[in-house]
Amino acid sequence: MADANQGNRPLSPHLQIYRPQITSVLSILNRITGVAMSLAAVLIAWWFLGGATDAAYYDVANGFLTSWFGILIMVGSLWAFWFHFFGGLRHLQWDSAKGMGMKAVRRSGIAAVVLSVVATLLCILLAL
């Protein structure tokens, strides 16, 4: 039986009232980047398959991957790789029971985001 004082309040926090924290945002982003890297792996395999089979097929794949949209996907995937990498380093640190305080978690989360952007830009500059 429901408590009469409860009214129409939700039973637990939900997305309309929950204030996202850096740990939850980075956790969700880590999952999204994992899926994004899978998409990039499929596109790269498609490009290799085109190169191994037929020149016309390769031209289609290469045309897509070198278009502005394909480059956007590849740059986004490159960032996803670095974000996933630095997030993995955070988890390795946590596995050793270090950096578990709220300040350290926040600091390492911000560092993972900043380092992933810096590493992505360095890779782009090296590729040019």
Binding site listing for heme? 84
The binding site comprises: 84
Q: Which two tokens stand for residue 107?
A: 């600091």
Burial 68-102 (b: 16+ CB within 10 A, else e): eebeebbebbbbbbbbbebbeebeeeeeeeeeeee
Judge whether 33 and 60 are in contact, CB under 8 Å. Answer: no
Q: What does the longest C-alpha to C-alpha distance in the chain come to?
A: 73
